[in-house]
Amino acid sequence: MESKELINIEQNFLIQTFKRPAMVLDHGRGIKVWDLEGKEYYDFIGGIAVNSLGYSHPKIVQAICEQAGKIIHCSNLYYNAPQILLGKKLVELSCGDRVFFANSGAEANEAAIKLAVKYFKEQNKDKFKIIYMKNSFHGRTIATVAATGTYKYQKDYLPLLPSFKEAIFNDLQSVKDVYDEKVAAIIVEPIQGEGGINIGTEDFLEGLREFCDNKDILLIFDEIQCGLGRTGKMFAYQHYGVEPDIMTLAKPLAGGLPLGAMIAKEKVASVFKPGDHGTTFGGNPVACAAALAFLEVLQEDNLLMECQLKGEYFQEKLEEVEEKFPALVKEIRVIGLMVGLELTREGSAIVEKMLKKGFLINCTAEKVLRFLPPLIVQKEEIDLLVKTLEEVVTEIVFS
């Protein structure tokens, strides 16, 4: 079936929650992906930070196939080995002590919010409010959308849960201003992704930790987009030396299969008892086997160091763009391969033109071109992207 026919069916049968360009992706290799008609694209958005090893990495494919041949699903009524081994691995890698597996980022955050509330219930303390940051993104469920400080995601679902309070990212005083003694937790992305690659300052994250310690509040880091190597360290909190009480992961964790994780320090984790929280699919053996393979490749192929170096290179190239088009570029924000180019104008026309020229990029927060390429991207591919971006910008500026 051709793309046109498929898209026509999609428009008649699927709920129209996504706005997508008129092409159907068919297969991929490395950082390249092809549509049904055979057109090739360089993917610089990587399935929104999911395809960190690119498409069809042989070790991920092998892990999935082997595990699928053994057992695909057994529910959480029974133990499965990949889930247990992955839990151990994540604890060894992180500052957390115990893991709960979910199916997505939003679900991992739901678990974190429930755990934080239960932690204080257990102590008979009346603390249940959650402080979140403006321009954050924590998911689309009712609780996580209440914690998502972006009005367009919230407006059709008002009134939202009243226990969520908004503060300003990188502004500690604003957190103190919305605080009251019923606050249980602060949830924050150390680096905001959907909000436009906004990098948390050291002062802010250190200040949050200190404030949480002083006021008996839990600190939740949502590392769903910025964690697992994306910034050149395994976890973004390692750039700051600030440890959260709870951390959430998802996106690249299982090499493209759905898997989320909530990792918590022992004092918090231990309040969840059998039956307090659960999921049918979370910690599925195939997803967990893929995740074990992903973490192995991340470490063995030295991808964290590579990610840092390539991020620096990407930044230099974007600075050249800024020199050539100073009126168009407001700011460049880069940490590892989490790359944001803030424009002085709306960016969707650039995204569309880049697509026509065979590059998948994305625009977030209206004016920020966002690049989240697979960590295996090569410098030559970054060169190609930047050259094409300059062509597109020239066309737009002089049209």
Ligand X SMILES: Cc1ncc(COP(=O)(O)O)c(C=O)c1O
What does the chain come to in residues?
A: 399
Cβ 191 to ligand X shortest distance, Å: 9
User: Residue 301, Cβ neighbours under 10 Å: how many?
Assistant: 15
Q: Is the dihedral of CA 381, 387, 391, 396 positive or negative?
A: positive
Burial (CB count <10 Å: 0-12, 13-18, 19+), residue 290: buried
CB of 203 to ligand X, least distance (A): 21
As measured in angstroms, the least distance from the Cβ of 223 to ligand X is 8
State the residue number with the nearest CB to ligand X: 105
As given in the structure block, the two tokens for residue 24 are 């159907």
By beta-carbon proximity to ligand X, the closer residue of 41 and 132 is: 132
Residue with smaller CB distance to ligand X, 284 or 386: 284
Cα separation, 207 vs 341, in Å, equals: 27
The DSSP code sequence of 155-211 is GGG-S--TTEEEE-TT-HHHHHHH--TTEEEEEE-SEETTTTSEEPPHHHHHHHHHH
Q: State in angstroms the smallest separation of the CB of 224 from ligand X.
A: 4
Instruction: Kindly state the smallest distance separating residue 227's Cβ from ligand X, in Å.
Output: 9
Considering the complex, what minimum distance in angstroms separates the CB of residue 324 from ligand X? 31
Whether the CB-CB separation of 290 and 68 falls below 8 Å is answered with no
Smallest distance from the beta carbon of 257 to ligand X, in angstroms? 12
Q: Which residues of 264-276 are buried (b: 16+ CB within 10 A; e: fewer)?
A: bbeebbebbeeee
Q: Report d(CA 213, CA 225) in Å as an integer.
A: 26
d(CA 361, CA 378): 16
Distance CA 175, CA 382 (A): 38
Instruction: Please report, as ranges, the residues that interact with ligand X according to CB under 6 A.
Output: 48, 104-106, 109, 137-139, 189, 193-194, 222, 224-225, 250
Q: Taking the CA of residue 249 as centre, how many other CA atoms within 13 Å lie in the half-sphere pointing to its CB?
A: 31
Q: How far is the CB of 267 from ligand X (least distance, A)?
A: 24
137/314 with CB nearer ligand X: 137
